[in-house]
A and B are shown apart, each in its own frame.
Chain A
């Protein structure tokens, strides 16, 4: 049996429902949430502000400090120990690099822009949701950036290329209702700059063959352009809402 009907009834090139909103944390310079299905990411941006320790300062331009944290209750049952662990540190690092290429902080030497991303719920695709939320928050904070960074995961479930896998699809052999052809599941988070088509984050988990990999990345890239439009609308809506 091939994987024809997805577990939650979506089409192969369809994401879960996306809700994005800017300006949700008043104390922050810029903030946003990005909810994709049951994955909820909240992002707050502080700065540009003075950077300590001083050895991290860059006299040419400001830097971004990204922190990805899952809330203790956000997982699939077991409590997650609060604070950064090995996984969170790695995701923080790659997400920071995904955002670095769009922001332009040359006017702010020796400073830092702190991006704090917290996940209230995580149901797979959390680093993508985090990047989407962070880039809305950065735009909301008035940071100069050449474009939004949109991110979405693609992958294969039972030899079929799908977009935006959720937790059950990532563990398909466990949750499958039918007989499974291949046990392999692959998950490929892709972040890209829609205006140039450049990919700023590309990771992979699982086993996939080369033609399917190209298909999956292409599918994710196409969807990124649509997600970027949702992100821009979220920033705009904050000011257009009260205009009537």
Chain B
């Protein structure tokens, strides 16, 4: 019996020692991780694929980056964005990838029996079925379920619509049923870089409203990089130039000031800040 008890005690001691060792190893590892961790790029700079962004395990890779060994590398061309420990890139180029609830401008490229096929300036075409058509201006119950769909949207027309669903294989469904969604008559269509759209719109639509007020243009900006402008010819040219300027210089700080300066110089009118009533009107109409 005594022998057995002694053996048991020995085992216990062994197990305790093992556990101690494990704890020590873990602590050592933690120290190793702490000592490394180095950021190799500054915030808001342009990075290109294959560029090493950070070393060590202090940072986490997010969109547009990936981890390889103890390094974080860029996956895409973009501006670097640091949020605490998370490194991600904001893309600067590339095609539009359809996303649910995006509001876009689409072009009719085919009319079927009960649906339209539309080009959404992306790698994929979208479908708009006749059920999803909102008020077409004909009053109560004006959308026909059957018959010639060309009566509503003809080939080559542009529609301001929203994405209701995107499948795993990127099949896109559209709808024109919603406030402000409609067919776009006349005007001019511009194609801009999709990733610059948030800058063209600005915070709560500030940039778009500035262009609208300065030039008196009607402007609709789709998330897919299609812009519709309706305006008198002279002012239209200025609005187009302003949009192109935003597109080209959006990654350089101080954009709003420069665009304001540009618009004042071109139109010859001072831009005042008291334009909130006007902007609210536009928000409702869009």
Which chain A residues have a beta carbon within 8 Å of chain B's beta carbons? 29-30, 47-50, 59, 62, 102, 104, 107-111, 139-148, 194-196, 228, 232, 235-236, 239-240, 242-243
Contacts and interface: CB of A to CB of B under 8 A. Distances in A.
A101 B50 CA distance: 13
Contacts of A228: 50
A235 B93 CA distance: 11
Interface string B250-262: 0110000000000
Nearest to B248: A242
Residue among A29, A145, A242 with max Cβ neighbours from chain B (10 Å): A145
Interface of B: 46-51, 64, 66, 68, 73, 75-78, 91-95, 97, 123-125, 169-170, 195, 248-249, 251-252
B46 A48 contact: no
Nearest to B253: A243
Contacts of A232: 48-51
A146 B66 contact: yes
Contacts of A243: 251-252
Contact of A107 (B92, B97, B195, B252): B97
B285 to A, nearest CB: 33
Given A49-B123, A232-B51, A140 B77 contact: yes
B49 A141 contact: no
Contact of A30 (B68, B93, B124): B93
Given A139-B49, A142-B91, A144-B49, 10 more contacts: A47-B123, A48-B123, A59-B169, A62-B123, A109-B169, A109-B170, A110-B169, A145-B76, A232-B51, A243-B252
Contacts of A242: 248-249, 252
A195 B48 contact: no
Contact of B76 (A142, A194, A240): A142
Contact of A235 (B75, B77, B251): B77
